[in-house]
Amino acid sequence: MIIVTGGAGFIGSRLIKALNAEGHDNILVVDDLSDGKKFKNLSALRIQDYEDKDVFLKKIIDKSYSKETEVIFHQGACSETTEWDGRYMMENNYTYSKEVLTYALDHQIPFIYASSAAVYGNGQNFQEEVAYESPINVYGYSKYLFDQWVRGLLPSAKSQIAGCRYFNVYGPFEDHKGSMASVAFHLQQQLQQGDTVRLFSGSDGYANGEQRRDFVYVDDVVAVNLWLWENSTARGIFNIGTGRAQTFNDVARAVIHEAGRGEIEYIPFPEHLIGHYQSFTEANLSSLRNAGYDKSFKTVEEGVAAYWRENNAP
């Protein structure tokens, strides 16, 4: 059995699609379908079973989960960076993750999990080291604290633990994420309703739309997850981005190019995001490359084109 927590979510469902393509359908999806719209991400996929995240957690705590497991891809989390209920965030992203990892270690099951570039906060050095990690919201802190717990376990772990520190992931299957969906998604939606795409005005010394992020296409992220499973000696926490920051203007221009129409409008930078917004991210990929991963990552232009083609296929 392959367990994918958050399997009805964005990256989780895309990961299952890739597993299906490799011939795997013995998959247990663990998720919370309170938002029933997420079922659409699973409807075309082949899975063996589904369990609610709370039911699954109870089973592993009670030691009543007995299915033989090949690997756990732990993608499930509250990913809303604007959520400030710290208790809720820590229960979902920290405590839950600790329980699942404890189960994995007890049974020597490879554990590949989702971390986040949010741990770096407003820093300018994006290397997987504590000295450069300073989250600016409780979401980032929940991911940061779990990474610290993992680091304490790695020296004695008898099975693989690999953290995927995702940068700005975009691509198909993210429709359900609402305000947390990528800028590429929102700009495509805006062009379906008119001829204008909207970006934030300048912030943190950047000109309008010139804030720079490491935008990484979801299928590239999935490829790293699968590679980690295939390479059990790769252990630790790894940045998963392209290694090159591009501007929000680049994303907007790429969407406009694919649509064949559109203009950019700049809107005032939201007051509630001041001090809580990453205006620059760029993954340092040295740890991932040193571990042996040598595949390339799509540019914004390549990724947006692939995203557009899939969303607009006849």
Q: Where are the domains of the chain?
A: 2-170+215-243+283-297, 175-212+245-280+302-311
- In this structure, the dihedral spanned by the alpha carbons of residues 243, 273, 85 and 186, taken in order and rounded to 10 degrees, is -60
Q: What is the DSSP string of 135-179?
A: -SSHHHHHHHHHHHHHHHHGGG-SS-EEEEEE-EEE-TT-GGGGG
The residue annotated as part of the active site, out of 139, 144, 170, 217, is: 139
pLDDT recorded at residue 198 = 96
pLDDT per residue as tens digits for the range 255-265: 999 999 999 99
pLDDT recorded at residue 109 = 97
Task: Give me the residues of the chain with pLDDT under 70, please.
Answer: 82, 313-314
The residue annotated as part of the active site, out of 177, 206, 266, 277, is: 177
pLDDT recorded at residue 78 = 80
CB atoms within 10 A of CB 270: 12
Asked if 2-170+215-243+283-297 and 175-212+245-280+302-311 have one fold, the answer is no
Provide the 3-class DSSP secondary structure of residue 220.
Answer: helix
pLDDT recorded at residue 79 = 72
pLDDT recorded at residue 274 = 77
Provide the 3-class DSSP secondary structure of residue 309.
Answer: helix
pTM tops 0.75, yes or no: yes
Give catalytic status of residue 139 as yes or no: yes
Residues 163/113, Cβ–Cβ less than 8 Å: yes
pLDDT recorded at residue 314 = 64
Q: What is the CATH number of domain 2-170+215-243+283-297?
A: 3.40.50.720
pLDDT recorded at residue 67 = 83
pLDDT recorded at residue 82 = 67
- Domain covering 175-212+245-280+302-311 assigned CATH 3.30.479.30 in the classification: no
